[in-house]
Amino acid sequence: MLSICPRTRHRLAAFTALSALTSVLAALPASPQAGSAADPATAALCPVVYPDDQSPASRGYHYAFFGNAFFINDEGYLLTVAHVLENFRDGGQAYILVDRPDAPSRLLKVAVIAKDVQHDVAILRASPNPFSGNYTVAFVALSSEPAVRGQAVLALSLHPRSLQDAHSFEAQSEDSSPGTVLSYESTLLDQAGPPADVFLLSHPVVKGQSGSPVLALDSRAAVGLVEGLWLRGTMLSVAKSTPPPSNTPGAAIPIRYAIALLEQRGILWHTRTSSSTPPPSSTASQSATDRPKR
């Protein structure tokens, strides 16, 4: 059984939100800030948020945090999981929080370009394109090879330091979760659709990691997107005050589902196979194994 984080009540009841894990994030030690030297791929990450204010105050816009997205090319396109966007289904405008080198982070609007609810993937596009402005951004290449059992992977995500009182001028904290691929499983990601594949991770996930990239440790290319927790025959109620066991594995969406959606829309992405080169930090950095695909 798969529990998705976060979920709304409109989804299949078995795939519940992980709001009970807020206390887990609050207890985490301080993490590197976005744009730090901890991992170059961090510059491709963007929290998906909704601003509560009409104008910024001294700490910027107060906002609600829903998950992560990451850039896949220099045209401003991003990937995330579709369930992160469910909170915006009634006309609410989704934003991403984008880092700037010498100024506070800025909120940018994102348009939902396409969604595949059956496989829980979505394509977004930022406006204006941050790659054309003064932003600290990068894109992540997508793996041309599927994740395999025993493969070393790394899940990266950003979250506000205070989930209950988040403001746009405040630095983000980074979660870096190394682990390995355990197995592939089949599950319903959409109540009305057929089963889809997910692969299990040796490390758990916490609230807000939904939509984050799962990178192959050798190539630093995305092999999947963080989906939620894999629960073996038990329900994780949002009313529970205690987190699940620490050995509860995470689950990820294989990147092939996102690639299929990109192909349908004719959107370019970059691919990389086995390599020790980190993701590019600028649009001018391409090589024979880091080339645009359509």
Q: What is the CATH number of the domain that holds 203?
A: 2.40.10.10
φ/ψ of 21, rounded to 5, equals: -95, 10
Cβ(20)–Cβ(5) under 8 Å?
A: no
| Distance from C-alpha of 20 to C-alpha of 31, rounded to nearest angstrom | 21
More confident position, 143 or 272: 143
Please, which pLDDT band fits residue 231 given cuts at 50, 70 and 90? confident
Q: How does pLDDT run across 57-102, given as a tens digit for each residue?
A: 999 999 999 999 999 999 999 999 999 998 786 668 999 999 999 9
More confident residue, 241 or 153: 153
How many independent structural domains does the chain possess? 1
Nearest of 95, 98, 78 to residue 169 by alpha carbon: 98
Burial class (CB in 10 A: 0-12, 13-18, 19+), 199: buried
pLDDT band, very low/low/confident/very high, at 277 (cuts 50, 70, 90): very low
Does residue 245 have a pLDDT over 90? no
Is residue 177 a part of any domain in this protein?
Answer: yes
Please choose, from the candidates 252, 182, 246, 172, the residue with its C-alpha nearest in 3D space to the C-alpha of residue 212. 252
Q: Which pair of structure tokens corresponds to residue 155?
A: 């899940």
pLDDT in tens, 176-210: 999 999 999 999 888 888 999 999 999 888 778 99
Q: Residue 172 class from Cβ within 10 Å (0-12 exposed, 13-18 middle, 19+ buried)?
A: buried
Contact 198, 214 (CB under 8 A): no
Q: Report if residue 88 sits inside a domain.
A: no
Residue 74 domain-assigned?
no
* Residues 26-63 pLDDT 10s: 333 333 333 334 588 999 999 999 999 888 899 999 99
Query: What does the pLDDT read at residue 206?
Result: 79
Query: Which has the higher per-residue pLDDT, 109 or 36?
Result: 109
Residue 6 pLDDT class (50, 70, 90 cuts): very low
Q: How confident is the model at residue 241 (pLDDT cuts 50, 70, 90)?
A: very low
- Which of the pair, 123 or 277, is modelled with greater confidence? 123
Q: What is the mean pLDDT of the chain?
A: 80
Binning pLDDT at 50, 70 and 90, where does residue 139 land?
A: very high
**In this predicted structure, what is the pLDDT of residue 40?**
85
Distance CA 277, CA 259 (A): 22
**Residue 175: exposed, middle, or buried by beta-carbon count in 10 A (0-12, 13-18, 19+)?**
buried
> Among 45-59, 100-114, 131-145, 243-257, whose mean pLDDT is lowest?
243-257
Give domain status of residue 172, yes or no: yes
CB atoms inside a 10 Å sphere around CB 125? 16
Q: Quick: pLDDT tens for 111-126.
A: 999 999 999 999 999 9
> What average pLDDT does range 229-249 have in this prediction?
54
Dihedral (Cα; 112, 113, 116, 117), 10-degree rounding: 20
Q: Are 143 and 219 in contact (CB under 8 A)?
A: yes
Q: How far apart are the two ends of the chain, measured CA to CA in Å? A: 34
Q: How many residues are given for the chain? A: 294
Does residue 118 form part of some domain? no
Measuring CA to CA, which residue among 2, 1, 5 is closest to residue 20?
Answer: 5
d(CA 227, CA 200) in angstroms, rounded, equals 10
Residue 191 lies in a domain: yes
Any domain includes 168:
yes
pLDDT surpasses 90 at 287:
no
Residue 146, domain extent: 142-293
pLDDT digits (tens, 9 = 90+) for 156-167: 999 999 988 999
Please report, rounded to a whole number, the percentage of residues in the chain having pLDDT higher than 70: 73
Residue for token pair 């391409």: 286
Q: CB of 17 within 8 A of CB of 161?
A: no
Span of 91-100, 217-226, 274-283 with lowest mean pLDDT? 274-283
Q: Report residue 2 as tokens.
A: 């798969």
In a domain, 41, yes or no: no
